[in-house]
Amino acid sequence: MTRQREMILDEFLRIEGHLTAEELTLAVKKRDSTIGQATVYRILKILVDSGIAREVRLGSNVVKYEHNIDHEHHDHLICERCGKTIEIVDQRIEELQKGLAEDHKFIITGHIMNIFGICEECRGR
């Protein structure tokens, strides 16, 4: 356990929502500008592996991270125009997914579901 790890973990947990590696780096550098980019990447990987963080990819190729503890599993509903993202979960879908996997004799380990659309606000304009 190093000073850097404590600081990066702490900062990650302090920030709610989805954030990129770069955004986390920026936040951490405000506290200690000597922390290196590579270290943030390294520790983000550790956080994902240990189940503290989760990767989120909402369309595009931008990788973001979000809390994976004290934060129930959920999927995302994304507005294609403004990028607004709503966290959703539907137990019936989760069940059907499990069933589909079983039909093919898979043991399910996870899933990603992004629903894309246009939000009401964006339609207004």
Could you list the residues that contact a second copy (CB under 8 A)?
57, 59, 61, 63, 77, 79-80, 86, 88, 90, 92-93, 96-97, 100-101, 104-120, 123
Beta strand 85-88 pairing with 75-79: antiparallel
Maximal CA-CA distance, the chain: 52
- Cβ closer to Zn ion: 40 or 64? 64
Tell whether residue 27 is a contact of DNA (CB under 7 A).
no
- Cβ closer to DNA: 60 or 91? 60
- Cβ closer to a second copy: 7 or 119? 119
Distance (Å, whole) CA 81 – CA 125: 11
Give burial (CB, 10 Å; 0-12/13-18/19+) of 113.
Answer: middle
- Residue 33 interacts with, from a second copy, Mn ion, Zn ion, none (CB under 5-8 Å by kind): none
C-beta of 73: minimal distance to DNA in Å? 22
Distance (Å, whole) CA 115 – CA 80: 10
